[in-house]
Amino acid sequence: MSIAVIGAGAFGTALAISIARSGAEVTLWARDTSALQSTRQSLRLPGVTLPESVSVTGDLAQSALADTLLLATPMQSLSTVLDQFDTPLSGKALVACCKGIDLNTLTGPAEVLSRLKPEATPAILTGPSFAADIARGLPTALTLACQDEAIGRSLQHQLATPALRLYRSTDVIGAELGGALKNVIAIACGACIGQGMGDSTRAALMTRGFAEMTRLAIHLGARSETLSGLSGMGDLALTCMSEQSRNYRFGLALGQEKPFDPTITVEGAKTAEAVTRLAQQIGLDMPICQMVHQLSTGSVSVTDAIRTLLSRPLKEE
């Protein structure tokens, strides 16, 4: 089975390296191949060199020849990239590796794939995985979610490596929402730590954030066990506790009132906006996500955000 990775940012590059290491044939598609072709390194993952077995291409039609396509662009670019395929992707598995909610449709990556490429089978690869760790071959475990159980099983075997243990699930909505929502909570945690609050604050935010994640996911049809797994709790723990996380670092910068490089991918900021709109539409209480949206757009300070959250009416857990 041949595999193409679409998007040569940090994660796409790391995935291509990881899969190639286990002997599979991999093509890595980049919008701009110049740096990759001359240095064999992605500007987004400096210091990591692509092995010879990864072919780099700027030709989307060539990538579309692969049996399995891993979509590793940021969430808000997913539909733009899918629109650029000008041949049908019948019989292909499309595995979204991005974590977020599309702002135009307020849907996750699987729904975007199904809407734009109904002839293909959508799947999700998500869970605790920093690109740098994956590229170094450090062990982790991820969730591979696909509604079609047989295709999910086949993808699990295709994409697992000795260091990358994949657990299979048919709960696509739960897997994608866990990955999207944990980024929002990581921004909140970073902001509190940046303001000088402590590990107790972070633990409380992670727990109440997890309650929000589960509330929204179950409302949208997910299974609660999925949220307790790698794609939810697993990735939440990683992202809220490590300065390797860009979402957490963005939050830290907000808390410290320092500028943050706007070219760095921070999926949680747009996800917080999407969740705020979605929660309003369906009438769900998502106070931490709503506060992160206001923080990210600069319409509230960290101090006021915390004060507002703490002064909500006392309730049962």
Ligand X SMILES: NC(=O)c1ccc[n+]([C@@H]2O[C@H](COP(=O)([O-])OP(=O)(O)OC[C@H]3O[C@@H](n4cnc5c(N)ncnc54)[C@H](O)[C@@H]3O)[C@@H](O)[C@H]2O)c1
Ligand Y SMILES: O=P(O)(O)OC[C@H](O)CO
Residues that bind ligand X (CB under 6 A): 7-12, 31, 44, 72-75, 77, 80-81, 97-100, 129-131, 265, 267
Q: Which residues are catalytic?
A: 182
- CB of residue 180 vs ligand X: minimum separation in angstroms? 8
Q: Residue 73 touches which of ligand X, ligand Y, none (CB < 5 to 8 A by kind)? A: ligand X
| Residue 168 in tokens | 């299979």
235 is in an annotated binding site: yes
| Closer residue to ligand X, CB minimum distance, 12 or 152 | 12
Instruction: Give the whole-angstrom CA distance, residue 109 versus residue 71.
Output: 9
Q: Residue 10 touches which of ligand X, ligand Y, none (CB < 5 to 8 A by kind)? A: ligand X
Q: Residue 173 touches which of ligand Y, ligand X, none (CB < 5 to 8 A by kind)? A: none
Nearest to 252 by CA among 243, 263, 261: 243
DSSP H helices in the chain: 10-21, 34-39, 60-63, 78-83, 109-116, 131-136, 149-159, 172-194, 199-219, 224-227, 235-241, 246-256, 267-282, 287-296, 302-310
Dihedral sign, Cα of residue 19, residue 11, residue 99, residue 164: positive
Nearest to 247 by CA among 179, 169, 175, 298: 179
283 is in an annotated binding site: no
- CB of residue 176 vs ligand Y: minimum separation in angstroms? 12
11 is in an annotated binding site: yes
| Closer residue to ligand X, CB minimum distance, 73 or 121 | 73
- CB of residue 285 vs ligand X: minimum separation in angstroms? 26
Strand-pairing partners, residue 145, are: 124, 169
Instruction: Name which of residues 90 to 119 contact ligand Y (CB under 6 A).
Output: 99
For the chain, how far is it from start to end, CA to CA, in angstroms? 48
The answer to the question of residue 188 lying near ligand Y (CB under 6 A) is no
258 is in an annotated binding site: no
Q: Residue 245 touches which of ligand Y, ligand X, none (CB < 5 to 8 A by kind)? A: ligand Y
